[in-house]
Every structure is written in structure tokens, then in C-alpha cells.
Amino acid sequence: MLKFEVDGRFVEAKEGDTLLTALRRGGINVPTLCHMEGLPPSGACRLCVVEVEGAPNLIPSCSYPVTQGLKVKTKTTKVLDARKTIIELLLSNHPDDCLYCARNGKCDLQRFAQDMGVRERHYGGKKTAKEADISSPSIIRDPEKCILCGRCVRVCEEVQGVSAIDFLGRGCKAFIGTAFNTGLNVSSCVNCGQCIVVCPTGALTEHSSLDEVIGTLSDPDKIVVVQHAPAVSVTLAEEFGLKPGMDVDGKMVAALRRVGFDRVFDTSFTADLTIMEEGSELVERIKTGGVLPMLTSCSPGWIKFVEEFYPDFIPNLSTCKSPQQMMGAIVKSFFAKREAIDPAKLVCVSIMPCTAKKFECSRPEMAPNNIPDVDYVLTTRELGQLFRMFGIDLMSIEPETADTPFGMRTSAGKIFGASGGVMEAAVRSAHYLLTGKEMENLTVAPLRGMKGAKELKVNVNGLEVHAAVVSGLGNARKLLDQVRAGKKKLHFIEVMTCPGGCINGGGQPLGTDKKAVRARMQALYKIDRDEAVRVSHRNEWVLRLYDEFLGKPLGETSHRLLHTHYSKRDVLV
């Protein structure tokens, strides 16, 4: 450990720490707009400047290494004036529409202006004018609100390995855009929304469907069904200032009914259904010499990534639709028939932690006979806004249970929200399908945790099954390159587009950190630990669905409703 002096007191640092890391660990808050935890410093915003004894100029703390005996000052007049000036310069070219901005109250630029006492405009001139890009079904870009911090570029390139956006132009004419400055809809963007999560302003937001959903809820001729993803119930509480990881499943169900939804279903039900189909598909591929490794197909950003960057792996993708789309397909077929409802009058709304789900539901493959499986997708953030608009106090409401049959789930379906959850649920059921016996220990520890790449070897009835789990498309790219080069021999690969899985999706609450993501993950594991039915093939309602309607996994009806296909995409890069 190293010791150095900060504002007259001593602080400890680890060898190799930057000043910013050491200061924050020591409880000293230093503002920054460009820094991203876990990535090398860029030093772009200069908001984290400090005075270092012996240095002729102010030093950006995010990129300055700590040395023994260093003397640092973080709150001198010179430092505070420099930070305030940076904020004032950024505001001089920023729209004055905070009251109407989607990030109002959750904007870092707004917060720092408040913290630094910026109360008047000192710098004038003509502001940069650029049109918003609304071409994507998932993401809206407003270049006028961009402060060129570079976070979105870095997460897209360095974490996700997509590089859909980058800096264009030079000097004062620089801006962030796509290849050839086209719309996001024709770029290599996979709609994951990680750029939204890291953006400090309102330059990137989700393409909201709130108005359409509210309009549908008020239409007496429509039957509006809502489903909620596994990760939403352990995240929604954060939208109301409550601690991360609190499970508000029952309260959320009750609140959705008060909003006006006619039926409330749990997407974890069709996660169980997915395991039945996907597990059967894996077993069939292994037994018949099918294309291996089989790749999961639950994450729509990942699917688009394969279609664009690794089309030779399209045959490896499971043909199963995602749990979201399976629910929509079942609702508009089996449910509509059972309830004697015209499918044209049924509206299926999804509450998802993911912006890519908005893209997924708009895919033509997901609209057989021009009737979409799912009509609208709201993110966790949008659901919080919907509850606030309707004046719902989430914590004072009495919990209720979801509607049968599609509200009944196992904990195996619930852990789909965490990276490794799909694989863990699949291994539990695949073991049963291959041996006719349950696993002795249903907890598969090697598949759990926040690590970006995990592997598992399990012996099932004499067959050694090799599986891998990756989250974050940058990690997926590395693994696929190894498989393509023949360096990895695997049977099954689970890929989640977002680091950590759906619990860290692009539609989750803003301003959270890794501790919050871990708390969400642990909440899902706690649910799995405490519940009685932990395997998808023991979901009685799923089994009844097969008996009464679908027939059998991979059968004619299930294949027609629950499976799809994918094709190579051309990318402008």
C-alpha cells in the first residue's frame, strides 16, 4: 500500500491506482463525466482535475498514477473554478429544455451544474443544431444534447465489440454518429441500449411506447395483456428510490392491474417453456449429430450480432423464439381460443429490462400472418414512469399473484434474468431428459456470478457435456473466434448481450453501479434457493399446455408457434 496526502490528511492507495480510484476509495468525491469504471481512462472531460504539488498545471486525476508521498489538493479555488468553467462551457452549447428532457433529475450535467452553483450563463453564441435520429425502434439519439464525453462510443466498441458509433468530424465540428452518418436502423447497432445506460445526459434515450400503451389501455374494445420479465421485479424498486435487489413481484402485479391491464402474466412461465423446447433441441442435436455448439436465442441483441458479424454461426442458433415472443404467440393462439377472444382485439404488452426487445417485437419473423406476437415493449424505466403518471404508490399496495396459467413459473425460469441462468435451468432439465433422474444438487455454482466468461463440464449419463456462458458481446466475440478456430469444443453456449445479463439490461434504472447489479443477481438466486419447484420440467401448467394444445416439445404445433429462423444481414461498416 502507498500513502499520499490529500487536503491535509493521509490516504492509502494500492500499487497502480490512479488518483481518482484512490480518492473515491478514501471517501473523497471527485466529479467526472467521461470516466468508466473498469476501462482505461480517456481524460476527455477534465472535470476531475486536482492540484498536485510540483506540477505546473492542474492534473486529471483519472489518469494520474499515485506515488508514495504525493501531495494533492482537490478543493482549492483554482480547482473549483476550473470545474465550474467546464460545466459552464458545456451548458453554453446545450439545449435549455431540462423540464421536457427524459433525463431530467437523472442527468449528470444537470447535477454537476447544481453542485457547482452554476446559476447564470457566462458564455453565449450560436448553438450547434443537429436533427435527432429516431430511425431505430429501440434508441433515440439527440446530438444536440451530446457533450462528447465518449462513453457511448467506448461501451459500444470496448465492451460490446459492435462499434456502431464513433466520433465524426474534427475540432468544434466533431460529433458522434454512425458509419456514413446514417440512421441507427441501418447501422451495425444491435439495440442493446448500453449506450443509454452510460450516457450522462439525454443524448441517448429509449424509443418510448408509453403513449401507445396508455391509449390502448383506455380503448374499451381491446383486451390488454401484460407480461413482465424475470429481472424486472428485482429492479423496479430502484425506480422509486428503494434499495437494489428488493423483490416487488406481488406489488408490481397488483399495480399493473390498477393501471388497467386485463391480465398479468409472468415471462418466467415461457422461460420454463423455452427450456422445454431448447433443452429438447439440444438433446436432439447431441443424439442425432446436429450442428454444435448450439447457441441460445433468448437475447435479441445477440441474435442481431450473429446475423451481422458471424452469419456462419446462424445454423448454430437455437430456433426457439425468446420467452417474450413465446408468451405473445401463446397468448394470441391458445389464450385467445380458450377465452373466445378475437386475436385482433388482443394487445400484448411486455415489461422488459431490455431496449433490444423493442426491436425484436418489430421483426417480421415475429409477426406470423401480419399479427405480431408482441405489440409493445416498455422498459423497467418506462414502467416506473407509468406508475408515477397513474399516481400509484408501489410500496403501500397489497401484493397479488399473477394470472393463471401463464403466471405460474418455477425458479428455473426466474433465474433467466442473470447471466448463466438460462444455462443452469437448461442443465437441470437436460439432465432429466437424458437420464430420467433429477440432479442431486440443482445449484450449478460455476455458472453463477458476474464473471464475463464461464465454462462448465458435466457428465450426464456417461456423456460429458461441455458448456460455456458469456455476457457482453465483446466476450461473445472472443469465444466465437475461438470456436471458429477450433480451439474450443463445446456443446452449448449461452450468450447474454449485456454484461451480467438482463439484470444489467439497457432498459434498467439509470445511475446504478455494479453493486446494484450484483444485488439484483443475488435476489434472483435467493428466489431460486427458497422456492419448492426449481426445474422447468416440473411446471405443471407448462405440462398442461403441452397436453391440451402444443402436443410435445419440437412437435408440429410448438414448432409453428414457438420457433423461428434468422438470416444474414448486410452492414454499412
> What are the φ and ψ backbone dihedral angles of 571, each rounded to 5 degrees?
-120, 140
In the chain, which stretches have pLDDT less than 70? 571-573
Instruction: Name which of 127, 108, 161, 185 is nearest 363 in CA terms.
Output: 185
The pLDDT tens digits for 354-410 are 999 999 999 999 999 889 999 999 999 999 999 999 999 999 999 999 999 999 999
| Beta-strand pair 346-352/376-379 | parallel
- C-alpha dist (Å) from residue 272 to 305, 377, 412, 455: 25, 21, 7, 22
> What are the φ and ψ backbone dihedral angles of 249, each rounded to 5 degrees?
-55, -55
What is the fold of 211-562?
Fe-only Hydrogenase (Larger Subunit); Chain L, domain 3 (3.40.950)
Cell matching residue 414: 426466474
Cell matching residue 280: 429438447
The CA distance from 528 to 108, in Å, is: 36
Cell matching residue 391: 399516481
Q: Please name every residue paired with 204 in a beta bridge, in sequence order, or none if there are none.
A: 141
Cell matching residue 411: 425458479
Instruction: Name which of 337, 266, 333, 302 is nearest 471 in CA terms.
Output: 302
In the chain, domain spans = 2-75, 90-206, 211-562
- How many other C-beta atoms can be found within 10 angstroms of the C-beta atom of residue 271? 31
| Same topology between domain 2-75 and domain 90-206 | no
For residue 130, which amino acid is it?
Answer: K
If you search the block for the grid coordinates 454484461, which residue do you land on? 499
Task: Specify the length of the chain in residues.
Answer: 573
The CA distance from 49 to 59, in Å, is: 5
Return the pLDDT at 571: 58
Instruction: Name which of 361, 280, 369, 272 is nearest 319 in CA terms.
Output: 280
What top-level class would CATH report for the domain 90-206? alpha beta
- Name, in order, each residue with C-beta under 8 angstroms of 196's C-beta and a sequence gap of 6 or more: 139, 204, 205, 206, 355, 506, 510
Record the pTM. 0.94
- Name, in order, each residue with C-beta under 8 angstroms of 60's C-beta and a sequence gap of 6 or more: 41, 43, 46, 48, 49
Cell matching residue 392: 400509484
Residues recognised as catalytic: 278, 281, 298, 318, 357, 360, 365, 502
Return the pLDDT at 573: 40
Return the pLDDT at 524: 97
Return the pLDDT at 356: 98
The CA distance from 29 to 302, in Å, is: 37
Calculate ∠ Cα 561-564-569, nearest 5°. Answer: 155
- Name, in order, each residue with C-beta under 8 angstroms of 263's C-beta and a sequence gap of 6 or more: 223, 225, 226, 403, 406
> What are the φ and ψ backbone dihedral angles of 159, each rounded to 5 degrees?
-100, -50
Return the pLDDT at 511: 87
Q: Please name every residue paired with 469 in a beta bridge, in sequence order, or none if there are none.
A: 454, 494
The CA distance from 437 to 252, in Å, is: 36
CATH number of the structural domain 2-75: 3.10.20.740
Instruction: Name which of 269, 444, 263 is nearest 339 in CA terms.
Output: 263
If you search the block for the grid coordinates 439519439, which residue do you land on? 141
The pLDDT tens digits for 423-453 are 999 999 988 888 889 998 999 999 999 999 9
